[in-house]
Amino acid sequence: MSATGLDLVGIRADPDLEQAVRRGLYGVERMLRDAVRSDVPFVTETSRHLVDAGGKRFRPMVVLLAAHFGDPEAIGVLPAAVAIELTHLSTLYHDDVMDEAPLRRGAASANVRWTNTIAILTGDFLFARASDITADLGPEATRILARTIATLCEGQIRETVGSLPGQDPVEHYLRVIREKTASLIATSGRLGAMLAGADLITVDALAAFGDYFGVAFQLSDDLIDVASDQAASGKTPGTDLREGIPTLPVLYALEDDDAAAARLRSLMKDGFAVEGALAEALDLLRGHPAMGRARREVARWAGQARDCLAVLEKGPARTALEALADYVIDRTG
Protein backbone atom coordinates (compact mmCIF):
# COMPACT_ATOMS: atom_id res chain seq x y z
CA MET A 1 0.00 0.00 0.00
CA SER A 2 1.08 3.55 -0.68
CA ALA A 3 1.53 6.30 1.88
CA THR A 4 -2.03 7.36 1.18
CA GLY A 5 -3.17 3.94 2.29
CA LEU A 6 -1.59 2.20 5.26
CA ASP A 7 0.93 4.81 6.37
CA LEU A 8 -1.36 7.76 6.90
CA VAL A 9 -3.89 6.18 9.24
CA GLY A 10 -1.64 5.48 12.16
CA ILE A 11 -1.53 1.75 11.48
CA ARG A 12 2.26 1.73 11.56
CA ALA A 13 2.11 2.73 15.22
CA ASP A 14 1.27 -0.88 16.02
CA PRO A 15 3.29 -3.53 14.15
CA ASP A 16 0.78 -6.31 14.85
CA LEU A 17 -2.10 -4.27 13.48
CA GLU A 18 -0.06 -3.23 10.46
CA GLN A 19 0.85 -6.82 9.68
CA ALA A 20 -2.74 -7.99 10.07
CA VAL A 21 -4.17 -5.25 7.86
CA ARG A 22 -1.45 -5.68 5.24
CA ARG A 23 -2.12 -9.42 5.15
CA GLY A 24 -5.83 -8.72 4.79
CA LEU A 25 -5.25 -6.32 1.91
CA TYR A 26 -3.13 -8.89 0.09
CA GLY A 27 -6.04 -11.28 0.46
CA VAL A 28 -8.40 -8.64 -0.91
CA GLU A 29 -6.20 -8.21 -4.00
CA ARG A 30 -6.22 -11.94 -4.72
CA MET A 31 -9.97 -12.19 -4.28
CA LEU A 32 -10.60 -9.11 -6.42
CA ARG A 33 -8.84 -10.71 -9.36
CA ASP A 34 -10.81 -13.92 -8.92
CA ALA A 35 -14.06 -11.99 -8.63
CA VAL A 36 -13.65 -10.14 -11.94
CA ARG A 37 -12.78 -13.26 -13.91
CA SER A 38 -15.34 -14.17 -16.56
CA ASP A 39 -15.82 -16.97 -19.07
CA VAL A 40 -15.74 -14.17 -21.64
CA PRO A 41 -12.07 -13.05 -21.88
CA PHE A 42 -13.01 -9.55 -23.00
CA VAL A 43 -15.17 -9.07 -19.89
CA THR A 44 -12.24 -10.16 -17.74
CA GLU A 45 -10.03 -7.65 -19.54
CA THR A 46 -12.39 -4.70 -19.09
CA SER A 47 -13.16 -5.63 -15.48
CA ARG A 48 -9.48 -5.87 -14.56
CA HIS A 49 -8.76 -2.49 -16.11
CA LEU A 50 -9.29 -0.56 -12.87
CA VAL A 51 -8.36 -3.43 -10.56
CA ASP A 52 -4.93 -3.55 -12.16
CA ALA A 53 -4.63 0.25 -12.10
CA GLY A 54 -4.33 0.01 -8.33
CA GLY A 55 -5.70 2.53 -5.89
CA LYS A 56 -5.63 3.11 -2.16
CA ARG A 57 -8.08 0.29 -1.36
CA PHE A 58 -9.22 2.64 1.36
CA ARG A 59 -12.71 1.18 1.78
CA PRO A 60 -11.47 -2.41 2.23
CA MET A 61 -9.00 -1.06 4.77
CA VAL A 62 -11.90 0.45 6.75
CA VAL A 63 -13.63 -2.96 6.65
CA LEU A 64 -10.49 -4.62 8.01
CA LEU A 65 -9.98 -2.02 10.76
CA ALA A 66 -13.63 -2.26 11.81
CA ALA A 67 -13.28 -6.03 12.05
CA HIS A 68 -10.64 -5.56 14.76
CA PHE A 69 -13.44 -4.58 17.14
CA GLY A 70 -14.57 -8.20 16.86
CA ASP A 71 -12.87 -11.23 15.35
CA PRO A 72 -10.78 -9.93 12.42
CA GLU A 73 -10.27 -13.50 11.19
CA ALA A 74 -14.01 -14.14 10.85
CA ILE A 75 -14.82 -15.84 7.57
CA GLY A 76 -16.98 -13.07 6.11
CA VAL A 77 -14.62 -10.13 6.62
CA LEU A 78 -12.44 -10.48 3.51
CA PRO A 79 -15.35 -11.20 1.15
CA ALA A 80 -17.14 -8.13 2.52
CA ALA A 81 -14.07 -6.00 1.84
CA VAL A 82 -13.95 -7.32 -1.73
CA ALA A 83 -17.65 -6.67 -2.29
CA ILE A 84 -17.23 -3.10 -1.03
CA GLU A 85 -14.29 -2.46 -3.38
CA LEU A 86 -16.13 -3.98 -6.34
CA THR A 87 -19.03 -1.65 -5.63
CA HIS A 88 -16.67 1.32 -5.49
CA LEU A 89 -14.96 0.33 -8.74
CA SER A 90 -18.29 -0.11 -10.49
CA THR A 91 -19.22 3.49 -9.64
CA LEU A 92 -15.92 4.70 -11.14
CA TYR A 93 -16.76 3.10 -14.50
CA HIS A 94 -20.14 4.82 -14.46
CA ASP A 95 -18.73 8.15 -13.24
CA ASP A 96 -16.20 8.27 -16.07
CA VAL A 97 -18.97 7.88 -18.62
CA MET A 98 -21.06 10.65 -17.07
CA ASP A 99 -18.06 12.96 -16.66
CA GLU A 100 -16.57 12.03 -20.05
CA ALA A 101 -13.31 11.57 -18.17
CA PRO A 102 -10.28 10.72 -20.36
CA LEU A 103 -8.14 9.34 -17.53
CA ARG A 104 -8.59 7.28 -14.39
CA ARG A 105 -5.65 6.51 -12.09
CA GLY A 106 -3.17 7.66 -14.71
CA ALA A 107 -4.49 5.39 -17.46
CA ALA A 108 -7.06 5.84 -20.21
CA SER A 109 -10.53 5.46 -18.75
CA ALA A 110 -12.60 2.47 -19.88
CA ASN A 111 -14.99 4.66 -21.86
CA VAL A 112 -12.06 6.10 -23.85
CA ARG A 113 -10.20 2.82 -24.28
CA TRP A 114 -13.33 1.01 -25.39
CA THR A 115 -16.76 2.73 -25.49
CA ASN A 116 -19.34 4.21 -23.12
CA THR A 117 -21.46 1.09 -23.58
CA ILE A 118 -18.61 -1.23 -22.57
CA ALA A 119 -17.79 0.94 -19.55
CA ILE A 120 -21.40 0.96 -18.36
CA LEU A 121 -21.83 -2.78 -18.80
CA THR A 122 -18.53 -3.45 -17.01
CA GLY A 123 -19.73 -1.36 -14.08
CA ASP A 124 -22.95 -3.37 -14.04
CA PHE A 125 -20.95 -6.60 -14.12
CA LEU A 126 -18.98 -5.50 -11.05
CA PHE A 127 -22.19 -4.57 -9.21
CA ALA A 128 -23.45 -8.07 -9.93
CA ARG A 129 -20.23 -9.66 -8.68
CA ALA A 130 -20.45 -7.66 -5.46
CA SER A 131 -24.04 -8.82 -4.95
CA ASP A 132 -23.05 -12.42 -5.62
CA ILE A 133 -20.36 -12.25 -2.94
CA THR A 134 -22.63 -10.71 -0.30
CA ALA A 135 -25.30 -13.34 -0.98
CA ASP A 136 -22.93 -15.83 0.68
CA LEU A 137 -22.65 -13.55 3.73
CA GLY A 138 -26.31 -13.75 4.63
CA PRO A 139 -29.50 -11.77 3.94
CA GLU A 140 -28.61 -8.88 6.26
CA ALA A 141 -25.29 -8.17 4.55
CA THR A 142 -26.98 -8.48 1.15
CA ARG A 143 -29.70 -6.05 2.19
CA ILE A 144 -27.19 -3.54 3.58
CA LEU A 145 -25.13 -3.48 0.39
CA ALA A 146 -28.22 -3.36 -1.87
CA ARG A 147 -29.55 -0.35 0.03
CA THR A 148 -26.14 1.29 -0.16
CA ILE A 149 -26.03 0.84 -3.94
CA ALA A 150 -29.48 2.42 -4.15
CA THR A 151 -28.22 5.36 -2.07
CA LEU A 152 -25.18 5.77 -4.33
CA CYS A 153 -27.49 5.95 -7.35
CA GLU A 154 -29.81 8.42 -5.62
CA GLY A 155 -26.86 10.65 -4.81
CA GLN A 156 -25.66 10.63 -8.42
CA ILE A 157 -29.15 11.44 -9.68
CA ARG A 158 -29.52 14.18 -7.08
CA GLU A 159 -26.24 15.72 -8.25
CA THR A 160 -27.23 15.44 -11.91
CA VAL A 161 -30.62 17.07 -11.38
CA GLY A 162 -29.19 19.82 -9.18
CA SER A 163 -30.77 21.71 -6.31
CA LEU A 164 -34.45 22.55 -6.61
CA PRO A 165 -35.78 26.11 -6.66
CA GLY A 166 -35.68 27.50 -3.14
CA GLN A 167 -33.40 24.73 -1.86
CA ASP A 168 -30.18 25.71 -0.10
CA PRO A 169 -27.37 24.74 -2.53
CA VAL A 170 -24.99 23.94 0.35
CA GLU A 171 -27.54 21.67 2.03
CA HIS A 172 -28.14 19.97 -1.33
CA TYR A 173 -24.43 19.47 -1.92
CA LEU A 174 -23.80 18.00 1.52
CA ARG A 175 -26.63 15.53 0.99
CA VAL A 176 -25.17 14.55 -2.38
CA ILE A 177 -21.76 13.71 -0.92
CA ARG A 178 -23.30 11.85 2.01
CA GLU A 179 -25.06 9.66 -0.51
CA LYS A 180 -22.38 9.44 -3.21
CA THR A 181 -19.29 9.14 -1.02
CA ALA A 182 -20.01 8.70 2.67
CA SER A 183 -22.65 5.97 2.36
CA LEU A 184 -20.20 3.36 1.08
CA ILE A 185 -17.59 4.24 3.72
CA ALA A 186 -20.30 3.94 6.38
CA THR A 187 -21.21 0.52 5.02
CA SER A 188 -17.54 -0.46 5.09
CA GLY A 189 -17.46 0.19 8.83
CA ARG A 190 -20.82 -1.47 9.41
CA LEU A 191 -20.11 -4.70 7.51
CA GLY A 192 -16.58 -5.06 8.86
CA ALA A 193 -17.75 -4.84 12.46
CA MET A 194 -20.97 -6.80 11.94
CA LEU A 195 -19.33 -9.75 10.19
CA ALA A 196 -16.58 -9.82 12.83
CA GLY A 197 -19.26 -10.33 15.48
CA ALA A 198 -19.03 -6.93 17.18
CA ASP A 199 -21.93 -5.77 19.34
CA LEU A 200 -24.62 -3.46 17.94
CA ILE A 201 -23.34 -0.32 19.68
CA THR A 202 -19.91 -0.87 18.10
CA VAL A 203 -21.39 -1.61 14.67
CA ASP A 204 -23.51 1.55 14.74
CA ALA A 205 -20.59 3.66 15.99
CA LEU A 206 -18.33 2.51 13.15
CA ALA A 207 -21.05 3.13 10.57
CA ALA A 208 -21.57 6.63 11.96
CA PHE A 209 -17.82 7.22 11.88
CA GLY A 210 -17.76 6.24 8.21
CA ASP A 211 -20.62 8.58 7.42
CA TYR A 212 -19.06 11.67 9.05
CA PHE A 213 -15.57 10.80 7.89
CA GLY A 214 -16.74 10.26 4.32
CA VAL A 215 -18.17 13.78 4.20
CA ALA A 216 -15.02 15.26 5.73
CA PHE A 217 -12.82 13.42 3.25
CA GLN A 218 -14.82 14.61 0.23
CA LEU A 219 -14.85 18.18 1.52
CA SER A 220 -11.09 18.03 1.98
CA ASP A 221 -10.79 16.87 -1.63
CA ASP A 222 -12.84 19.93 -2.62
CA LEU A 223 -10.32 22.19 -0.94
CA ILE A 224 -7.34 20.38 -2.44
CA ASP A 225 -8.91 20.71 -5.90
CA VAL A 226 -8.74 24.49 -5.47
CA ALA A 227 -5.69 25.05 -3.29
CA SER A 228 -3.08 22.56 -4.50
CA ASP A 229 -0.69 22.75 -7.41
CA GLN A 230 -0.35 19.83 -9.77
CA ALA A 231 3.23 19.05 -8.79
CA ALA A 232 2.27 18.58 -5.14
CA SER A 233 -1.03 16.74 -5.55
CA GLY A 234 -0.56 14.87 -8.81
CA LYS A 235 -3.95 16.16 -9.91
CA THR A 236 -4.88 19.00 -12.21
CA PRO A 237 -6.18 21.89 -10.07
CA GLY A 238 -9.71 23.07 -10.77
CA THR A 239 -10.95 19.76 -12.17
CA ASP A 240 -14.32 20.10 -10.44
CA LEU A 241 -14.69 23.72 -11.53
CA ARG A 242 -13.90 22.88 -15.13
CA GLU A 243 -16.49 20.09 -15.08
CA GLY A 244 -19.11 22.47 -13.71
CA ILE A 245 -19.32 20.91 -10.25
CA PRO A 246 -19.88 23.64 -7.63
CA THR A 247 -18.05 22.25 -4.60
CA LEU A 248 -18.21 23.72 -1.10
CA PRO A 249 -15.63 26.55 -1.45
CA VAL A 250 -17.36 27.68 -4.64
CA LEU A 251 -20.81 27.53 -3.08
CA TYR A 252 -19.64 29.56 -0.10
CA ALA A 253 -17.99 32.15 -2.36
CA LEU A 254 -21.16 32.46 -4.46
CA GLU A 255 -23.23 33.22 -1.36
CA ASP A 256 -21.59 36.65 -1.13
CA ASP A 257 -23.08 39.55 -3.04
CA ASP A 258 -19.82 41.16 -4.05
CA ALA A 259 -17.57 41.67 -7.07
CA ALA A 260 -15.70 38.40 -6.50
CA ALA A 261 -18.91 36.38 -6.52
CA ALA A 262 -20.14 38.20 -9.62
CA ARG A 263 -16.89 37.52 -11.44
CA LEU A 264 -16.91 33.86 -10.43
CA ARG A 265 -20.48 33.49 -11.69
CA SER A 266 -19.47 35.04 -15.01
CA LEU A 267 -16.49 32.73 -15.44
CA MET A 268 -18.56 29.66 -14.58
CA LYS A 269 -21.38 30.70 -16.93
CA ASP A 270 -18.91 30.96 -19.82
CA GLY A 271 -17.53 27.53 -19.01
CA PHE A 272 -13.98 28.89 -18.67
CA ALA A 273 -13.85 29.10 -22.45
CA VAL A 274 -11.37 31.99 -22.50
CA GLU A 275 -7.72 31.12 -21.98
CA GLY A 276 -6.68 31.85 -18.41
CA ALA A 277 -10.26 31.90 -17.10
CA LEU A 278 -9.86 28.79 -14.95
CA ALA A 279 -6.60 30.10 -13.47
CA GLU A 280 -8.34 33.39 -12.68
CA ALA A 281 -11.17 31.59 -10.91
CA LEU A 282 -8.72 29.53 -8.86
CA ASP A 283 -6.78 32.64 -7.83
CA LEU A 284 -10.04 34.30 -6.84
CA LEU A 285 -11.05 31.35 -4.68
CA ARG A 286 -7.63 30.86 -3.07
CA GLY A 287 -7.75 34.38 -1.67
CA HIS A 288 -11.41 34.24 -0.65
CA PRO A 289 -12.69 33.81 2.93
CA ALA A 290 -14.76 30.89 1.60
CA MET A 291 -11.66 28.71 1.81
CA GLY A 292 -11.27 29.27 5.54
CA ARG A 293 -14.96 28.65 6.06
CA ALA A 294 -14.74 25.39 4.10
CA ARG A 295 -11.72 24.28 6.16
CA ARG A 296 -13.72 24.83 9.34
CA GLU A 297 -16.49 22.66 7.89
CA VAL A 298 -13.99 19.87 7.20
CA ALA A 299 -12.80 20.10 10.80
CA ARG A 300 -16.39 19.98 12.05
CA TRP A 301 -17.26 16.80 10.16
CA ALA A 302 -13.93 15.16 11.04
CA GLY A 303 -14.47 16.08 14.69
CA GLN A 304 -17.90 14.46 14.62
CA ALA A 305 -16.33 11.36 13.11
CA ARG A 306 -13.77 11.27 15.91
CA ASP A 307 -16.52 11.70 18.52
CA CYS A 308 -18.24 8.55 17.22
CA LEU A 309 -15.22 6.52 18.31
CA ALA A 310 -15.53 7.49 21.98
CA VAL A 311 -17.77 4.51 22.75
CA LEU A 312 -15.31 2.02 21.27
CA GLU A 313 -12.75 0.01 23.18
CA LYS A 314 -9.38 1.73 23.28
CA GLY A 315 -6.66 0.03 21.30
CA PRO A 316 -4.64 0.14 18.07
CA ALA A 317 -7.65 -0.01 15.73
CA ARG A 318 -9.35 2.91 17.45
CA THR A 319 -6.09 4.87 17.43
CA ALA A 320 -5.73 4.25 13.69
CA LEU A 321 -9.24 5.55 13.02
CA GLU A 322 -8.65 8.61 15.21
CA ALA A 323 -5.46 9.31 13.26
CA LEU A 324 -7.43 9.01 10.04
CA ALA A 325 -9.88 11.69 11.19
CA ASP A 326 -6.98 13.95 12.19
CA TYR A 327 -5.29 13.40 8.83
CA VAL A 328 -8.29 14.71 6.93
CA ILE A 329 -7.96 18.00 8.80
CA ASP A 330 -4.18 18.15 8.42
CA ARG A 331 -4.21 17.58 4.65
CA THR A 332 -6.19 20.78 4.11
CA GLY A 333 -4.28 22.94 6.62
Alpha carbon 193 to chain centroid, angstroms? 19
The CATH number of 1-198 is which of 1.20.950.20, 3.30.750.24, 1.10.600.10, 3.40.640.10?
A: 1.10.600.10
Q: Do domains 1-198 and 200-333 have the same CATH topology?
A: yes
The tens digit of pLDDT for each residue in 178-233 reads: 999 999 999 999 999 999 999 999 999 999 999 999 999 999 988 988 887 644 44
Does domain 200-333 match CATH 1.20.120.1760? no
Residue 243 carries which DSSP code? Answer: T
pLDDT, position 98: 73
- Which residues have C-beta within 8 Å of that of residue 48, sequence separation ≥ 6? 33, 36
Give the residue-averaged pLDDT of 119-132.
Answer: 92
d(CA 63, CA 43) in angstroms, rounded, equals 27
The tens digit of pLDDT for each residue in 136-170 reads: 999 999 999 999 999 999 999 999 888 888 899 99
Give the residue-averaged pLDDT of 283-292.
Answer: 90
Averaged confidence pLDDT in the chain: 88
pLDDT, position 134: 96
Domain boundaries, the chain: 1-198, 200-333
Strand, helix or coil for residue 108: strand
| In the predicted structure, residue 294 carries a pLDDT above the cut 50 | yes
pTM of this structure: 0.91
d(CA 68, CA 38) in angstroms, rounded, equals 33
pLDDT, position 191: 98
Write the DSSP assignment of 271-321 as a string of letters: TT-STTHHHHHHHHHHTSHHHHHHHHHHHHHHHHHHHHGGGSPPSHHHHHH
